[in-house]
Amino acid sequence: MLLEAIIIIVTIFIIAIAFYKQTNPEYKILQVEEGDLTKIPPLISELSPIVIRGFKTPQFWTKDDIAARPRLQQIPLIYKGFEPISLADAATNDSLILPKSPSATAELLALESGVQVWAEHSVIPSFSELWYSRALQIRSKALIGEQGLQETTAFLTFIMPTEEDIQVTLLHKKQFAFCPEDWQSTVPSTWTKANTPLVGEIQFIDIIIRKGSLLALPPHWRWACVTITPESPKKPMVVLLELNHPISTIAAWSTSS
């Protein structure tokens, strides 16, 4: 009986993961007004990106916030292959170019800046009507500077600017085969035939996310955010939230393994 029960449970999980990996290839953007995150759950089944407008952005993870908090300034930005970078320098020196990838201390910065606590008390409760709401967990990252392509595996991934408006580039899973071999932390608009011969076949969209708005992404998209004006020396300040349940966690593990 125990073996049969284990087989049934494993089978259910495999089926659930298979359904979880289903995607919607259409570049259709949904919108929610008045910053009401409780309106998101009914839209989840459409598997399309959702823009939440009119959201009251918390006053954290801004350059002024960093300048006023010595404890936060003491946490360095750490990138693979680079010397640690002072957060204070990164926030004040517009000529300092940062790698286009999340810092290894992005989660620690989210915790120290208050992003993680805010997300736990403001985002998760908005999904209380879901029957699996008690199993939801959220991970936060505080990002600074342009961010190259990253792949989403969470149940929902939220991208929120805290200062300047940002432009977010989206690629659906269907386009992944056309991407360069080393696509991580790159921006699609910079690709040429030199690094991907089928560059002309790649379809992506750019969305402007203004301060006071959030972008919610279903799993299996790739995204990159840049400043709204690429020529601007200002670095975007971005909060990244990954909302997971057990199925999305297992699916992410199976995708990366």
The CATH architecture one would assign to domain 29-256 is: Sandwich (2.60)
Write the pLDDT tens digit of every residue in 125-178.
999 988 888 889 999 999 999 999 998 888 899 999 998 899 999 998 888 888
Give the whole-angstrom CA distance, residue 131 versus residue 134: 8
Write the pLDDT tens digit of every residue in 28-55.
899 998 888 999 999 988 889 999 999 8
Task: Name the residue among 168, 173, 139, 142 with its Cα closest to residue 154.
Answer: 139
What pLDDT sits at residue 73? 92
Contact residues for 149 (Cβ-Cβ < 8 A; gap 6+)? 169, 171, 179, 183, 184, 185, 186, 187, 188, 222, 223, 224
**Would you tell me how many other CB atoms lie within 10 Å of the CB of residue 119?**
21
What pLDDT sits at residue 22? 56
Which of the 8 DSSP states describes residue 77?
A: B
Q: Where are the domains of the chain?
A: 29-256
What pLDDT sits at residue 16? 45
Confidence class for position 23, pLDDT limits 50, 70, 90 = low
76, 105 contact by CB (below 8 A): yes
Q: For the chain, what's the residue count?
A: 257
Contact residues for 24 (Cβ-Cβ < 8 A; gap 6+)? 46, 47, 48, 218
Say if residue 8 is exposed, middle or buried (CB neighbours under 10 Å; 0-12, 13-18, 19+).
Answer: exposed
- pTM score > 0.85 for this model? yes
Arithmetic mean of pLDDT, 73-79: 95
What pLDDT sits at residue 3? 55
